[in-house]
Structure 1
């Protein structure tokens, strides 16, 4: 497995005013390394080394030299400045090639389902990473998910993902990862003709005609009643 090699230095002056500013002025990043049945250690690493690790990909195995000793570590978290987006702190975890670890791995979608072209379906990527368990040497940088066979009626769950050899799924197998959705038609439907006619107010000419027709019918009815009495 490919490793990135870096140099770390024990951090002095913790809690001293201006110490962190001095570290960052030297293009270094304050960090901590923990785990491996050892005490946590406050360290500094070069910004260029941290960028090298991140460029290599998530879950990259790092060989760190600290105080003359070499340790295998993984980057667990990197904090960035809200404005400059520069790294301001990093957490490293000591690891052993003999042990399995639970890690989070990004998912990369590949392919285009036929229903996208046929029905205008939209791909909705719900879960962008999953948790897996594997030996350090078998931890992948990312897992590729082929969505070509997916249809509107059948999405992909976490349990459907084909994992690399030696990698075990920790995420709930029934958790949805990606599915297809049909876009809604927001165009309002036209009102039926009968409803439209009923909704229109009566004009004075129409109302008068109805009154005339009603009075005529009443007159005819009265005349018929008189003839019947004769």
Structure 2
């Protein structure tokens, strides 16, 4: 995986007023930290970071280009953004990476191929997991985890334990389902019992009440 360089600068102030002014100038507050490394407050060029997000390269190694650091390679650990505006970023956490040590990071999961069960038997493909946590060397970090689902028939599924990728360990439960093919639930099958219940309830309501038992004299 290639290393993406981002334009950064030192953050020389703090507080809401300073942060607001920095954002207006196109800079996003961030922090760079790691093991045996003092946290460094920085600011990242907002347009460059937005382009990185738009091209879905959040799992790439990032060169922060810090002038006072011999090495400033990092991975993105957390991004705080506006709830409604995806291109408005509040803060970014970068974690230092040592190229000779393993790193744990989340990557997207992508299904590849058209399952047999969907193509020939009317099934529906479900992929409940969108991201998984993996452990590997920095140079082995994939842009995404591609899962081939073309052989799945109705009732078949792929779990974490079924996926073997050289030099990568998936740090999730082995029983986690990554992809599954099921038959769709037809609306009429769901509606039928409900309708029958309504008819029975209506019939019960329409039935005449039983006459009270005659009193014994």
Same fold (TM over 0.5): yes
Partner Cα distance (2:136, 2:158) in 1: 22
Please give the secondary structure, in 2, of the residue aligned with 1:153: coil
Contact 1:115–1:151 (CA<8 Å) still a contact in 2?
yes
* 2:111 is equivalent to residue 112 of structure 1: no
Where in structure 2 are there 5+ consecutive unaligned residues? 197-203, 208-217
Name the counterpart of 2:123. 121
Q: Shift of the alpha carbon at 1:57?
A: 1.4
Deviation for aligned residue 1:125: 1.0
Q: What SS does structure 2 have at the residue aligned with 1:20? A: helix
- Choose 81-90 or 129-138, whichever is displaced more: 81-90
- The answer to whether the 8 A contact 1:53-1:62 is kept is no
- Aligned counterpart, 2:214: none
CA RMSD between the two structures: 2.5
Equivalent of residue 149 in structure 2, options 147, 150, 155:
147
Aligned match of 2:167: 166
Look up the match of 1:176: 177
Normalized per residue, which structure has more helix? Answer: 1
CA distance in 2, matches of 1:84, 1:104: 23
Q: Where does structure 1 lack aligned partners over 5 or more consecutive residues?
A: 192-198, 202-230
Give the structure-1-normalised TM-score: 0.76
Q: Supply the distance in 1 between the matched residues of 2:98 and 2:64 (Cα, whole angstroms).
A: 13
Deviation string for 1:9-32 (max 9, x for gaps)? 2212212x5111100010110011
Question: How far 1:77 moved relative to its partner?
Answer: 1.4
Q: How many residues get paired?
A: 195
Contact map agreement 2:4 2:62 (CA 8 A) in 1: yes
> C-alpha separation between the residues in 2 aligned to 1:83 and 1:175?
31
Q: Are 1:7 and 1:66, in contact at CA under 8 Å, matched by a contact in 2?
A: no
Where 2:20 maps in the other structure, the secondary structure is helix
1:2 alignment partner in structure 2:
2
**Which has the greater radius of gyration?**
1
Partner in structure 2 of residue 14 of structure 1: 14
8 Å CA contact retained: 1:10, 1:67: no
Q: Report the Cα distance in structure 2 between the residues aligned to 1:107 and 1:56, rounded to whole angstroms.
A: 13
Q: Does 1:27 align with 2:26?
A: yes
Contact 1:99 1:135 in 2 (8 A): yes
Q: Secondary structure at the match of 1:119?
A: coil
